[in-house]
């Protein structure tokens, strides 16, 4: 995963921060999906989830509009729950988090689009 924290230094308005933050989030999610799908064990899945959770935790919410900030915090909470479910080898918890994740991502996508930015679907 790339370190995009420097991008925050150059963003002046909150809508630009939504765009930059959303691109960082999309990169984290894409990397997670690739690593998770390549995993063959709980340990490998756990490492993929921990890496993604740590990356999501590093995303600053400073200066974000409340709607996107709240949606991002929901994503962060789900990643935390996902990491814990994998650590506990809780298949039901894992399934619940994986089912919720696309809905949370879609909410972030919609908010990003509401600020006039186009969101590319994978």
Confidence band, pLDDT 50/70/90 cuts, at residue 4: very low
The predicted structure's pLDDT at residue 46: 85
Domain of 43 in residue numbering reads as 13-114
Please compute, for residue 60, the number of CA atoms within 13 A of its CA located in the half-sphere on the CB side.
Answer: 13
Read off the tokens for 8.
């925050």
Cα separation, 78 vs 30, in Å, equals 16
| Burial class of 20 by CB neighbour count within 10 A (0 to 12, 13 to 18, 19+) | middle
pTM of the model: 0.82
Residue 94 in any domain: the answer is yes
Whichever domain contains 35, its CATH number is 1.20.120
Mean pLDDT of 44-58: 90
- Answer for the pair 100, 48: CB distance below 8 angstroms, yes or no: no
The predicted structure's pLDDT at residue 37: 93
**Greater pLDDT, 16 or 72:** 72
Residue 6 in any domain: the answer is no
């Amino acid at each position: 995963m790339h370190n995009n924290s420097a991008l925050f230094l150059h963003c002046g308005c909150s809508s630009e921060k939504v765009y930059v933050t959303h691109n960082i989030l999309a990169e984290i999610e894409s990397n997670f999906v690739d690593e998770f799908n390549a995993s063959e064990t709980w340990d490998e899945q756990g490492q993929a989830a921990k890496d993604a959770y740590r990356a999501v935790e590093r995303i600053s919410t400073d200066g974000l509009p409340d709607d996107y900030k709240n949606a991002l915090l929901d994503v962060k909470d789900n990643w935390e729950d996902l990491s814990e479910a994998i650590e506990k080898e809780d298949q039901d918890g894992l399934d619940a988090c994986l089912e919720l994740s696309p809905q949370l991502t879609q909410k972030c996508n919609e908010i990003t689009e509401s600020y006039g930015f186009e969101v590319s679907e994978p």
